[in-house]
Structure 1
Amino acid sequence: MFTGIVQAVGTVSRITPAQSGCRMRIDCPELGPAEWRTGDSVAVAGCCLTALDIDERGFSADLSAETLDRTSLGALATGNPVNLEPALAVGDRLGGHLVSGHVDGLAEVMSVRPAGESRIFRFRVPPELARFVAEKGSVTLDGVSLTVNAVEAREFEVNLIPHTLAVTTLGQLEAGDRVNLEVDLLARYLERLTGVQT
């Protein structure tokens, strides 16, 4: 499990094609990866991946063809930045909201506008995911836990403060870009338990 509170922005340093997907190398020395163990989970742009070939500079992860097709990771190239969050340990502070690292779909940036020192981003989600996005509810975008400010049909807005813009990759987004979206876990289970679909 994760919280959506990004710990560092890493850099994709190598992508090696494999028979069914690829192996991606990510540099993140500031996270102290040498202390991790092989098999630990790391959220990379919101996608839960398994850390392999760990050393003091970073780690590698195997990405399946499905992961490459269904998330924004398939569009990454060497040199691209990615939001990173190691998995929670028992007793860690839960600063954002409960995040599984299982991407539900891609959200498209429709517009970006200034709001003082902050910026308001408007996103469009796939039709089947729109019902899970609620005003003042939580979403995870490229691994970042955010509060929804407004909702209209398939579109919603979030307000990113200067700190979030500075310490995550979201500050680089422009209209037309797509990001990994994970809807609120509780909303998913509530629908399943009640059997109610809208």
Structure 2
Amino acid sequence: MTKIPCINSLAVKTSHVLPPDTNNHGTLFGGKLMAYIDDVAAISAVRHARKPVVTASTDSVDFLAPVKEGDSVCVESFVTWTHHTSMEVFVKAVTEDLLTGDRKVCTTAFLTFVAVDDNGKPVSVPQVYPETAQEQQLHDSAPERAAERKKRREHSKEMAATFGTDYPWNEKKQGS
């Protein structure tokens, strides 16, 4: 497989924040921004793999600044690193006060996607390579984030096994 530069997977979405998009504080619902992040990141992953993808994980989504009603929010993403079937995607969201032009990075996140075939089975993806210093920094630090994700996933599996599918309040209380 050929190697593909990070920039080839760049995806950008800009939205105007309107009243139905906001919470009681007059700021963009966090869940709405998270949906934008997943959407744009998935586009980057598909652009890179040229195959359907599924979201495998979302690292912490850090909300750094509020996105106010009337502002715009621009979500940018690109593939930073690849493994056999998976791709790490970096996402940055920038809020802009459209009246003053003041811009702030409001959110950053990393997501992992897996390319799949028509049967939903993982398939190989091309390698990605960085061209800028920022892309190189993200690429070089990706294996450490991947190891953290793997550890977190194992912990999640343990939690799922411990808690299962029954609700705790359906069990008898200890000592009853």
TM range (shorter): under 0.3
Which structure would you say has the larger Rg? 2
Instruction: Please give the TM-score of this superposition, normalised by the length of structure 1.
Output: 0.24
Higher strand proportion (structure 1 or 2): 1
Instruction: Please give the TM-score of this superposition, normalised by the length of structure 2.
Output: 0.26
